A = this chain, B = another copy of it.
Amino acid sequence: MTTPELGLPMAVPADGLPARVRIHEVGARDGLQNEKATVPTRTKAEFIHRLAAAGLTTIEATSFVHPKWVPQLADAEQLFPLVRDLGDLSGTALPVLVPNEKGLDRALALGATRIAVFASATESFAKANLNRTVDESLAMFEPVVARARTHGAHVRGYLSMCFGDPWEGPVPVPQVVRVCRALLDMGCDELSLGDTIGVATPGHVSALLTALNDQHVPTSALGVHFHDTYGQALSNTLAALQHGVTTVDASAGGLGGCPFAKSATGNLATEDLVWMLTGLGIDTGVDLGLLTATSVWMAEQLGRPSPSRTVRALSHKE
């Protein structure tokens, strides 16, 4: 056990957990995309720099989808150079979401070196989100992934609805494994297993990771992306860590979920995750104080408090 600094839990490692976890910070993209308020480009760029200063090494920056679908991120073309103008972030990975080849072209033209595609494990969500079947969407991603790799870009495949789907209910594990396999086979370097509606529980997480392991999917290629809709994100994360997962998605301050909405469907808050990992003695490289200050600042920009319990507890103390 190590003595904690002020505002940090005592570090007491647990058996069988990784020594280090890479947090894939999604607040600037997945978070802001789901906020009602549209944030000025300059604020977004400053947000990304503050996240990097807090020690986050992978910060998903924006999305090159059509502005008609995601007006909050319509400024991707302006944001990307502005982030560079504000200072050197060469040590920070700045992946961007691209929906198709046109989006890829825009991202590559701006010098993006890490891209992400967004697939669905269920037919209902593929239809609703992409207006395609699962296999049609995989066929659409294939040239995107191939061309990205030709340009030397790292490719992440998001897979949504890995546990439950609002139309179909529980999602069978083999169905998820099949799409994971297809995304890896087409050249994705890493997958992000998404519990888009937040219904997963630790045994379900464990069952999916076991099945992927049985199919020889390397755990090092897997990230987990949990939502706190039912408050389950951290216990699911613990189950994933116990299976050797070392990449965890989270959103600074829990951006993307409104604390006053009846249904708080937000992402896992990065601060709540860092609290648990710090307590487990797992290195993240993140300064929780700086990160909390960043989320308090962003909450002020959005005009509403952060839904993160850790942000509220720590900012109350200050």
Contacts and interface: CB of A to CB of B under 8 A. Distances in A.
Given A10-B204, A202-B14, A312 B234 contact: no
A231 B10 contact: no
A238 interface: yes
Kindly state the interface size class of chain A when it binds its partner.
35 or more
B203 A235 contact: no
B14 A170 contact: no
Interface in A3-50: 3-4, 9-15, 17
Nearest to A173: B1
A17 B201 CA distance: 13
Contacts of A207: 1, 12
A279 B198 contact: no
Given A202-B238, A235-B238, A230 B309 contact: yes
Interface stretch (A85-93, A117-125, A153-161, A262-270): A262-270
A116 to B, nearest CB: 26
7 contacts: A202-B280, A203-B280, A204-B279, A231-B308, A232-B276, A234-B235, A261-B312
Kindly name the residue among A229, A261, A269 whose own CB sees the greatest number of chain B CB atoms within 10 A.
Answer: A229
A149 to B, nearest CB: 35
Contact of A316 (B234, B263, B269): B263
Interface of A: 1, 3-4, 9-15, 17, 163-164, 169-170, 198-204, 206-207, 228-232, 234-235, 237-239, 259, 261-265, 269, 272, 275-276, 278-281, 305, 308-310, 312-313, 315-317
